[in-house]
Structure 1
């Protein structure tokens, strides 16, 4: 598989995919690097109204992240730990570099303009081929990793249904590790990252909040966490799947995290642009925002999740006893438009989903599967959410049951009318739930009437759209 092509000055990275005679050509075009900036101790306002989002904290009842002492991020940072960054290198340094994961120093990081995780500095943008060419196959330095060779070797017609193994799989893993070293960045405790103005973007990165406490991410577009080396898993599902390693934002083993006023998308590599290999989409993305590995006390509010398949996973395994009593998440006033599934998919957690707007794309290319996916030991409480479904999509399709026994639904509207999605699901033969969610949310500032949800979310959700809170 040819991974790269000559670059041209353009924002983002474009995937051109051609499938012919069993070979896939993936063309990644490099972009001009972001304008070099610097770190600064100045206290920068982060929106045109002059407010400083970097110093703002979560409200005292604004979802689960208000529990357990609340979420204040880096609001107490001293002048020496307030940064304005314009490049990937500057962002990483401001977060504490390779030691960011365990750094607890309060800090505020303002992002200015577009930051590209593939930026190597000095006007050079790394490509997938750069990572692949550093990994010889079978110890021979003259032979580098090739996705074309990988596809040919592990074609189910040739390899069968066993997991990929051998020198080519080892080389893929090694190439993936090089990419992770470049494009994955941890965020430590007591940190606020906030975009300046309405055009702050982090592209091509996996921002990973791991083993952290008290983190705020606001007013940013997180775009295109592109995996150069997805893995073929022949046992995933009935026919196998291509699986990728990177979410735009990952929350792992972390507590008190607030993600707000941001936009999440696939950038220049939308789902419809992906080719099929072995009859399955050659998937180069994982989740947009995944909350897993016993994370707890998280609020996700006023965001846009756009044109993506596996959008938000809460809980990483059906067999993870450590997750019992964790994964308490509130999801409110978000727009989910053109997404396929997992909005959210939940295991174990007590999750409150209210005042969200869901819009099925006019031409979803068979992408849409479901929105709410309660699963193992989950307690999902959904309230006053609004849906716009395309003609022919029944309300029952909104919900699926991945093994949950508890579920509460209130105040749902579908296409402008009150509808019980749970009743529709059961009437269509869906697996029943044994009881209601078994809990009542208490960390709630306000639940808006469902007939107002669409106008509120359209106006206020997403990066660059922050407005004064409604009283």
Structure 2
């Protein structure tokens, strides 16, 4: 009589098998609902260079998810780790889970959602949205963020800085020490809590919003396209600080195109050390005294060794007495700026380059891109930029 054949399974192997089965039963694995989840970053921006940005486009069927809560998103991130994955956002995700933050420590612990490497995070339809928290792209590569709204977090415990007053801590999205990131068809807004609702504390404004989208600490190869930034003060910082040159020099290559900046006060963007290409964008604001908040200050801020090449942008700023205020130089330490083809109101912005009093950038744009007539920027921006318009 022949002995029975059997397969030996170790205890650890059995545990991993049971764990994978349990995960398959509990994780929100689903079909691909948004076909654009399989797309990669186009070549017409920095994210398409140096190997490109593919996000989760190579995800297998078991790494395609649909989530509708912060906990589901965290579970998926923990399980899938750095494997290629597509995470589809359904409806509004309240990062606070409806529980108000008690203090700084509580907000720091609960308000940030980390986006891992090799991920496409994409909204379903027109209603995908994050509220009461931040998205953090930190020390990872190959991330795509598309088709959702982020309402800016409100700092419950701003800190005081001597000479600068009360300042908030939390950005809507932070890209830090990360490479190859494509941000596309997002809407970023102050939303339900606008700056005119700020209170006074010790005789100064208690500022509860920080940045919308900050790119810093050696991040590189980033494209921001077809996105809508509206109702905010300090919008986009590229480059951490004047003293961070050791980490930032030679990095911070960023493209911003076909996007809208509406009722933005400043920093769209403000650049240190980076090389930024801005084209086909629409800037709409109000510099008049009648606006209770979001009074226009400037669009481009060019700081230490920062460089911006601007092309075919439309600046429609009500009450702007001097078009040179569109660009602001923060010192003259290796920074450079140029513009061609842009309009301020109905007239060509002929003073764009000489206004800042800076040298012309010496670097060249390495990719092919399409400039549109400035007369088309308003229509395209207002009808095609932002979440739900992909």
Instruction: Give the TM-score, by structure 2 length.
Output: 0.88
* Correspondence for 1:325: 250
1:299 to 217, 223, 233: 223
Could you say what secondary structure the match of 1:92 adopts? helix
Q: What root-mean-square deviation, in Å, do the aligned CA atoms of Structure 1 and Structure 2 show?
A: 1.7
Taking a change above 3 Å as real, the CA distance of residues 44 and 187 of structure 1, as seen in their structure-2 partners, is same
* Correspondence for 1:198: 126
**Counterparts of residues 62-77 of structure 1 (less than 5 Å):** 62-77=44-59
Could you say what secondary structure the match of 1:109 adopts? strand
Rounded Cα–Cα distance in structure 2 between residues aligned with 1:279 and 1:411: 45
Return the offset for 1:41. 2.6
**Counterparts of residues 215-364 of structure 1 (less than 5 Å):** 215-236=143-164, 241-320=165-244, 321-361=246-286, 363-364=290-291
Taking a change above 3 Å as real, the CA distance of residues 310 and 444 of structure 1, as seen in their structure-2 partners, is farther
* Correspondence for 2:111: 183
**Counterparts of residues 3-402 of structure 1 (less than 5 Å):** 39-46=27-34, 52-59=35-42, 61-96=43-78, 103-119=81-97, 125-128=98-101, 131=102, 175-236=103-164, 241-320=165-244, 321-361=246-286, 363-365=290-292, 367-402=295-330
Contact 1:379 1:438 in 2 (8 A): no
Contact 1:412 1:421 in 2 (8 A): no
Rounded Cα–Cα distance in structure 1 between residues aligned with 2:200 and 2:155: 16
1:454 to 375, 378, 383: 378
Number of residues of Structure 1 aligned to a counterpart in Structure 2: 359
Rounded Cα–Cα distance in structure 2 between residues aligned with 1:82 and 1:96: 14
Taking a change above 3 Å as real, the CA distance of residues 391 and 235 of structure 1, as seen in their structure-2 partners, is closer
Rounded Cα–Cα distance in structure 2 between residues aligned with 1:187 and 1:42: 19
Q: What are the Cα deviations for residues 151-180 of structure 1, in whole angstroms up to 9, with x where unaligned?
A: xxxxxxxxxxxxxxxxxxxxxxxx322212
Return the offset for 1:393. 3.4
Could you say what secondary structure the match of 1:458 adopts? helix
Q: What are the Cα deviations for residues 63-106 of structure 1, in whole angstroms up to 9, with x where unaligned?
A: 00011210010011112211101111111212227xx8xx3211
Return the offset for 1:371. 0.6
* Correspondence for 1:419: 349
Contact 1:39 1:85 in 2 (8 A): no
Contact 1:342 1:373 in 2 (8 A): yes
Rounded Cα–Cα distance in structure 1 between residues aligned with 2:296 and 2:71: 37
Contact 2:339 2:353 in 1 (8 A): no
Taking a change above 3 Å as real, the CA distance of residues 444 and 278 of structure 1, as seen in their structure-2 partners, is farther
Return the offset for 1:424. 6.8
Rounded Cα–Cα distance in structure 2 between residues aligned with 1:256 and 1:247: 20
Contact 2:222 2:255 in 1 (8 A): yes
Could you say what secondary structure the match of 1:360 adopts? strand
Q: Structure 1, unaligned stretches of length 5 or more?
A: 1-37, 47-51, 120-124, 132-174, 467-471
Contact 2:28 2:72 in 1 (8 A): no
Q: What are the Cα deviations for residues 383-408 of structure 1, in whole angstroms up to 9, with x where unaligned?
A: 11101111243211111101243111
Matched, 1:406 2:336: yes
Return the offset for 1:242. 1.3
Return the offset for 1:244. 1.3
Contact 1:116 1:205 in 2 (8 A): yes
Q: Structure 2, unaligned stretches of length 5 or more?
A: 1-25
Return the offset for 1:111. 0.4
Contact 2:46 2:253 in 1 (8 A): yes
Contact 1:340 1:371 in 2 (8 A): yes
